[in-house]
Amino acid sequence: MGEGQAGPPATSLRQGVPPLLGYAVLTAAMDVYAGNRFSVVSPAGLAAVSFTLTFLFFGAAELRRGGTRRISALAEHRVDLVAINITTTVTWLSTFYALKYLEPAIVNVIGLALGPVITTLAGPLMRRQSSVIPAETAVAVLICGLLAMLLWGSFSGDSGLGHITALHATLGLVFTLTCAAGSAVNILYMKRLSEAGCDSGTVLATRFVLMAAVSWGLVAVGDRGGLHAALVPGAVVAVIGVGVPIYVLQVGIRHTEPITTSLLVALSPLFAFVMQLADGRLSFSALTLVGVLGVVALVCLGVLARARRSAAEAGAGSQDTVSATDAGGQQNVPSEQH
């Protein structure tokens, strides 16, 4: 690298990479563990327990640091707050029900891959100033092809779950696609609240209210007798699926560049595939392995292509500024690098 273009310090990377790898491992572990438990526990019961605990934990943490006034201030952004509660509920419930019907690695990789695809295809429609580079379009098309192959494997019996009914495969597909779409919209509202200056801890203390309420509603109209069986799994998911991953992700993001974050998080489906081999319900699937490897590679290629494009645009913008400054007879002062 040239002078003034140095990357993040090695010490910062050493602080940021382990938490991000931990996040990828934990999200994979949550998918595999929850998928296994859904053979004896209902998704609604597990969601009710885990997100009630999550809501109480983040709420207590916010009150302990004197966040009552910040919580009240969120009323100014009530539309976004309601929206993020809705998208959080849709995303997590869809994830749990998808894991009940499909192989965990497939649910994980579809959730990872469809985010960039949706952003690539819908970005110019939602934000007119955004642009899509050819490499991203090619990656999105290829990812869709691999995801179609993985879904075909679920219907044909070539996934790790073996032969499942067409109804279960269809339900799994619908819930997985809903989860991916909900996640993409959820990120949009999280970004809106962040740009509005809302504290992340305050948002965490309020974004799971609807999730807990809807989950208990589903339990009330469903099988209440099996709720006791969801207590331990719910506590485990609250820890490894929500609480700890949110914390380590924030730590990792603080110490690494966005491209590093994206590349490391993209490894989660590989971890899920390896972990699910220990689940007696599942068998090794060459089709799933090929699909996961292909999607992870394509996601990484898309991230790298966008990073190169952004770097080139930033360099061109800097050069234009330098040229304009030189033309005006001003002294050239290098800008500060962040």
Residue 4 has pLDDT above 70, yes or no: no
User: Region 276-291: what's the mean pLDDT?
Assistant: 90
- DSSP designation for 8: S
DSSP of 196-264, one letter per residue? TT--HHHHHHHTTHHHHHHHHHHHHHS--TTGGGGHHHHHHHIIIIIIHHHHHHHHHHHHS-HHHHHHH
User: Region 313-323: what's the mean pLDDT?
Assistant: 59
Give the up-direction half-sphere exposure of residue 142: CA atoms within 13 A in the CB hemisphere.
18
Tokens of 319: 């050069």
So where are the chain's domains? 10-314
From residue 137, alpha-carbon distances to 43, 119, 178, 259, 301 in Å are: 36, 11, 22, 18, 12
- Predicted pLDDT at 79: 86
Residue 315 has pLDDT above 90, yes or no: no
- Tokens 């382990």: give the residue: 18
Q: Percent helix, strand, coil in the chain (nearest 5)?
A: 80, 0, 20
- Predicted pLDDT at 159: 85
127: left (phi over 0), alpha (psi -120 to 50) or beta: beta
- Predicted pLDDT at 327: 46
| Average predicted confidence (pLDDT) for the chain | 80
Task: Dump pLDDT digits (tens) for 104-117.
Answer: 999 998 888 876 67
Task: Dump pLDDT digits (tens) for 190-240.
Answer: 777 777 777 778 888 888 999 999 999 999 887 666 788 889 999 999 999
- Predicted pLDDT at 100: 92
- Predicted pLDDT at 191: 75
Threshold 0.85, pTM exceeds? no
